[in-house]
Structure 1
Amino acid sequence: MRSCPACGTANGESDDFCGNCGAYLGWSSEPVRRGRTPEPEPEVEPAPEVEPAPEPEVGPEPAPEPARTAEPGPAPEPRAKPAAGTDTRVPEASPAPPPARPSAPPAPPVPSVPPVRPAPAPVRPGVPASATASAPGNASDADEPVGAVRPARPVARRPVVRPVAADEAPDGPPCPACGTPNLAGRKFCRRCAAPLQVREQPAALPWWRTVWPFRRRVRGGSGRALRRTLLVLAVAALVLAGFLFFPLGRYAFEDVRDKLGGTAEISPTGVSASAAAPGHPGSAAIDGLTNKYWGAPALGASLTCSFGTPFRLVGVVVHTGVSKEPQEFRRGARPTRADLLVTTKDGKVHKKAVTFNDKPGKQTVRMGISDVRSVELVLREATGQGAGRPIAVGEVEFFRRT
């Protein structure tokens, strides 16, 4: 079996993906081979230690015999320790016959050598000690010289073959992506990791439910009526606000267009004056010449200009005085304040007070009125008046939005 590295779920040896979480099993450890189970390595027994041969012990000196003297001989060589069960007693040496020598002074006593214990028999590698102890009469093994012994090597035991139950053949539904059969409890395919439990697709919404905010799916009794009521109230509030603020919004929109768009001069189709000085009629104010002017005999006189087609009035330019030359400008009377009365096609009149600077040249008045049909200029204040000095208005120009 192969364990998933992500969730730890057991999977088959031939599975490539986890059946619980769909993780790829190729990054996990190698699968265990079928029919063979790894065995733990055996413990290595340490090599037996060889005890060194004990040194011979020196006992007390025996008393010498007075009648005979013994010649010193070579010390006996130590013998190997016999195996267990053998007789460890040392046979007594027979006394040598006394030599035919003349009597001599007694020799110094010679120390006798005590019996030496034999060294333990060496243990051969690979042969248990019981085998050596069980053969006490084998003299060839005891006399064989012992060489150097190598340390034991760890030898791994051969694996034991155990029968393993074969995996059950998956008989579940096939994968919708690759068609591989899977077990019934799996959530993902063992070959391609595709989800096996496919959710049912919801029914298509009608077209009106695809528009926000109707495209939201809600459960029954989850506040749908309240949301619809709030939506209706919001729409009604927007309609009311648009109705109340429509003039202000329209004015702001048109004002932006006036500032961003171009302008062009428009000539009136008719002009009339309420009063005029001799030789200075009202038509002189719209002839395009600044050396001719309309002369008003007194304050309160008005000049009315009419237009055949309604238009968007964006500005009015007024030239005051009898001339543009500074010396001639000071000789005549000139207006300093006036009222502009603009009438639209629906009969509504827009009034705007205008103040003029007492200097020659044009003076611009910005306007922003749609559907203009006529403009009336009424003089309210003037300077430089005197006998035989009418109030001079040199030229009046009108501009529309293009």
Structure 2
Amino acid sequence: MPVCPECGTANGEGDDFCGNCGAYLGWSRGAAARATAAPTAAPVAVPAPARAEPESAPVPVPEPAPAPVESTRRSASRRTARTGAEPTREPTPEPKEEPKPEQPPARPAEPPVTEPPATQPPPAAEPPRPSTAPVRPAPAQTPAPAPAPRAPADPVAVQPAKPVAPRPVSRPTETAETQDGPPCPRCGTPNLPERKFCRRCAAPLTPTEAAPKLPWWRTRWPFRRRVRIGGSGNALRRTIALIVLIAVVVAGILLYPAGKVAFQDVLDKLRKTAPIAPAATSASATVEGHPATLADDGLSNTYWGAPAIGDSVTFSFRTPFRLVDLIIHTGDSVDPEHFRQQARPVVLALEVTEKDGTVHTQQVPLNDQPGPQTVQTGISDVTQVKLTVREAAGTGPGRAIALSEVEFFKRT
């Protein structure tokens, strides 16, 4: 079975990837197969084809030629040999006899060859014997070259240089291990329970679940998730969250009035205003011919006359409203020539009463000049407004303190 080259874990024969580390097993399987392969069977010995005998081609019969002089000498030498004398002579070539064709050795039975059998060559002709008759010498002639011998075709012989495939060697195969286990979540291949990676696609068989996405507030300090050596940090986070919650509650209680005022001021800037007329007007003291009702009649050439400093005028309203601001006109006229004929208030005490009885007091300084002067208030649920003269300019015998007009504006 293949062994993983990375971690050394043994795997099944059909596994493509390691079950422990997920490494590919194809390369290790090829190397192991080459290293541990059984030796192949010895190649079948094929007997070499018998050496083909030279084909005895038909030799043309030469014409009788005059025998050379050497033949006479050879005859003489033979005669002398019979008598016992051994004359000196040159060796002469003797005619060679044709060798008889040898019978080829027996061969093992082989499958028939589709090559057609060659025809049996004709029997070789016996060469002529040299003649011993004396002949006249003839001029030397160059002998013609003999044709090259050809090997006879053997119908059973194996063609030279033809490869012979070795016989296959049958080896017992190991029984494949049954893969009974959970299927791969990616390709569905069954795997053994102890495997960590799929044997086909190397996908992890025990994938870890993705952590759920944290809410936005958990990504902000100090609530974001952190790994601590001493613990998970949940106790610290809960303590900090509790402290922050208590601080918010305390701040809300302490800052609620200021927050409410700030919110109302923003609305005063964003929304429009409209004039509102008082339902009733009264004064603590008046000068004859100049009652308190002349302070809210909408005319700036009439006025409420206060006999002395400390006198006051009161304006009452039917329904509570948000008093954004009020506009005050001092003097008996807007004309500068007539403005200084009477005394003018320069400091007024403003008292605003809400529907629950709460009183807001404010000192209002005024300029000693004709024209409107705006006073910012921003008080809600107003039901009554009281103005008291604290300081005046141009006072004297026979002079009244003139307050020509007071305008009130509410938020719409």
TM-score (norm 2): 0.53
1:253 paired with 2:256, answer no
Determine if contact 1:284/1:292 at 8 Å carries over to the other structure: yes
Match of 1:350 in 2: 360
Q: 2:184·2:190 contact (CA, 8 Å) conserved in 1? A: no
* C-alpha contact 2:13 2:176 (8 A) present in aligned 1: no
User: Structure 2: where are the runs of 5+ without partners?
Assistant: 38-167, 212-222, 224-230
Choose which of 166, 181, 188 in structure 1 pairs with 2:197. 188
The aligned residue for residue 19 of structure 2 is: 19
Q: Which residue of 1 aligns with 2:339?
A: 329
| Residue range with higher mean Cα deviation, 338-347 or 276-285 | 276-285
Kept in 2: contact 1:276–1:297 (CA 8 A): yes
Indicate if the aligned counterparts of 1:187 and 1:196 stay in contact, CA closer than 8 A: yes
Residues 132-281 of structure 1 correspond to what in structure 2 (within 5 A)?
168-175=176-183, 177=185, 178-197=187-206, 235=245, 238-281=248-291
Secondary structure of 1:314's counterpart equals: strand
Partner secondary structure for residue 339 of structure 2: helix
Q: Report the equivalent of 2:146.
A: none
Aligned partner of 1:367 in structure 2 is 377
- How much has 1:257 moved relative to structure 2? 2.4
Unaligned residue ranges in structure 1 (runs of 5+): 40-160, 203-212, 214-220
Q: 1:167 to 1:183 in 2, by over 3 A?
A: farther
Q: Does 1:382 align with 2:392?
A: yes
Give the corresponding residue for 1:42.
none
Q: Could you say which residue in structure 2 is the equivalent of 1:206?
A: none
Distance 2:405 2:324 in 1: 17
Displacement, 1:259? Answer: 2.6
User: d(CA) in 1 for partners of 2:370 and 2:8?
Assistant: 98
**RMSD of aligned residue pairs (Cα, Å):** 4.4
Q: Distance in 1 between matches of 2:409 and 2:15?
A: 86
SS at match of 1:287: coil
Q: Which secondary structure does the structure 2 equivalent of 1:245 belong to? A: helix
C-alpha distance in 1 between matches for 2:271 and 2:18:
69
Aligned residues: 267
Structure 1 residue 301 corresponds to structure 2 residue 319 = no
Match of 2:301 in 1: 291
In 2, Cα distance between the equivalents of 1:244 and 1:198?
53
Q: Is the alpha carbon distance of 1:3 and 1:230 closer, same or farther for their aligned partners in structure 2, counting shifts above 3 Å?
A: closer
Question: Aligned equivalents of 1:349 and 1:277: distance in 2?
Answer: 28
Contact kept? 1:34, 1:164, Cα under 8 Å = no
Do the aligned partners of 2:354 and 2:382 also contact (CA within 8 Å) in 1? yes
In structure 2, what residue type is equivalent to 1:32? G
1:21 Cα shift? 4.5
Percentage of matched positions with identical amino acids: 54
Deviations 1:344-383 (A, max 9, x none): 1111111000000112211111112111110001011111
Matches within 5 A, 1:63-82: none
Instruction: Give 2:328's match in structure 1, choosing from 293, 318, 329.
Output: 318
Separation of aligned partners in 2, 1:290 and 1:246? 41
Query: For residue 32 of structure 1, what is the aligned residue in structure 2?
Result: 30
1:29/1:256 Cα in 2 relative to 1: closer, same or farther (>3 Å)?
farther
- CA drift of 1:286 comes to 1.0
Cα distance in 2 between the residues matched to 1:261 and 1:29: 81
2:312 & 2:234 partners in 1: Cα distance?
66
Q: For residues 362 and 171 of structure 1, do their structure 2 counterparts lie closer, same or farther at Cα, with a shift above 3 Å needed?
A: same
Any idea what the Cα deviations from partners look like across 1:27-69, whole Å, max 9, x if unmatched?
Answer: x969628954599xxxxxxxxxxxxxxxxxxxxxxxxxxxxxx
Give the match's secondary structure for 1:328: helix
Report the more deviating stretch, 237-246 or 372-381.
237-246
Residues 338 and 380 in structure 1, CA contact (< 8 A), matched pair in contact too? yes
Shift of 1:338: 0.6
